[in-house]
Structure 1
Amino acid sequence: MAASHTLHATCVAWDDRAVIITGKSGAGKSALGLQLMALGCKLVADDGVHLMLENGAVVVQAPDTIKGLIEARGIGILNAQVRGRARVVLVVDLDQSEPARLPEARFFEVLGHNLPLIYRVDAPHFAPAILQILKSGWSDR
């Protein structure tokens, strides 16, 4: 049986490239997911994500019970366009704030794989920068 793991998190994807958004209850996981969806991403899962290894990559999908649903705090549970599964290329930790202008590389270890990790940035460019990472990654220059 393949290794798998479940996280309390939100996940959206641009094409086949997904970001997992972690944080305590009320940290803004769903809100950031909604911002990214407004920029063109599709929901993979809100409130819980199921991770597994597939062809050497960490892949994410929604548990069947919450597939296609996202919470908008103070508004309710909303239907969403979904991406059934996607390859995880980034993890965002909303419980930590980024103090550095150009931070060192960090990683989130899951299922024996290190995934790039970034912390919350309280600035208007945060969601667009995450989308750009999903689309094109980081510069190596």
Structure 2
Amino acid sequence: MLTNFGCDSKAPPTPATTPVKGQILVQGKGVAGARVVFHPQFDVGAVKFAPGATTDKEGRFQLGSAGPSDGAPVGEYAVTFTWPEPTKNPDEGDLQVDRWRNKYNDPAKSKWKITIKEGDNQLEPFKID
């Protein structure tokens, strides 16, 4: 099933989504501000995207694709993570550095593979060292 968002009938169709919720745990505790991205391992059509979300203070998230928290299309995904940490660099202004030093942000090397199915998807927590 395909869905068009917006009023422009010439806009490429985007796949229908289904709700996806999860949690990121670091050393057994939820972390705020971590970013999770689901990289499709299937053809998503003309509109290229990767569903993503940012965690709340308990490490919980709801994926969004075409809009915040609208979920993700059914299919297989490689999952990546970053955890931005604001830093001050007097020469370059405010920067954000990944606390994990890009260790978990390459979809080709991700050890987390997830299948999203029709209906609500409540994922097991992602446990990160």
Q: Same fold (TM over 0.5)?
A: no
**TM (normalized to structure 2)?**
0.29
Q: Which is strand-richer, 1 or 2?
A: 1
- Whichever of the two has the greater Rg, that structure is 2
**TM (normalized to structure 1)?**
0.27
